Structure 1
Amino acid sequence: MDITQIAGRLVQLVRQQDSTAAYRELFAPEASSHEMPGVPGGDISGLDKLIAKSEAYDEGMTVHSITVTDPLVYQQYFCVGMGIDVTRKDGSRTQEHEMCVYQVRDGKIVDERFVYAMG
């Protein structure tokens, strides 16, 4: 797959709320993930750790809806905007919004970075 196909497939899987399949299909074994600076455990590497982080996030809430923009592709990068409407285990409902930037090398995503407002 080229980067445009990878970006499109990622958007498709996230819209279907199947992030585990996205990681398994599209990410390199040594891929890394980066949250905003200061987030505990925000920088991790390795596909198994990325999947575990994603599944732990999903288990902590009920998802009402996910919105994902079409991707913007440039060179070896692409980005998408994501919004999620969730109810957390404590009963609080919130809407989260972020920009997600991905780097692709040799047909696989090798890095993901999430940019969002803190606080």
Structure 2
Amino acid sequence: MTTSEVANKLVELCRQGKIDEVLETLFADNAQSIEANDMMGPRVVEGLQAIKAKSAAFQADVEEFHGAKISDPIVAANSFALTWTLDATFKGRGRMSMEEVCVYQVKDGKVILEQFFY
């Protein structure tokens, strides 16, 4: 898959709420995930299994989703970026609206890096 194809598929699946499918089909086994801070768990996570565990922990921390909006991707060479706005109630933290820029790097048709800025 090209970077553009990966980007469009990621956005399509995320808009459908299929985060597990995104990780399973679009991420490399040695992918890395970098958060802006420690608010969502470990700042740096390496390897697909660790990223899946981080995602599962995030989802388990959500009491209720109120809405989300994901922009179309902006693609350049082997990278793409998008914005993601999330409105959710978190266990012990109440309702929060979050807006972030998500940047992805692709190699050999798979995401090898995701980094979040919020």
TM-score normalised per structure 2: 0.93
Name stretches of at least 5 consecutive residues in structure 2 with no aligned partner.
none
Match of 1:44 in 2: 45
**Which structure 1 residue ranges, 4+ long, deviate > 6 Å from structure 2?**
none
Which 10-residue stretch deviates more, 60-69 or 27-36?
60-69
Match of 1:64 in 2: 66
- 2:110 is the alignment partner of 1:108: yes
Deviation at 1:5, TM superposition (A): 0.9
Deviations 1:1-31 (A, max 9, x none): 1111100110011111111110100000000
The letter of the residue matching 2:67 is S
Which 10-residue stretch deviates more, 16-25 or 38-47?
38-47
Deviation at 1:91, TM superposition (A): 6.3
Tell me the distance in 1 between the aligned counterparts of 2:46 and 2:23: 12
Deviations 1:6-61 (A, max 9, x none): 0011001111111111010000000000011x525110110001011011101111
Identical-residue share of aligned pairs (%): 35
Name stretches of at least 5 consecutive residues in structure 1 with no aligned partner.
none
Q: CA RMSD in A?
A: 1.2
TM-score normalised per structure 1: 0.92
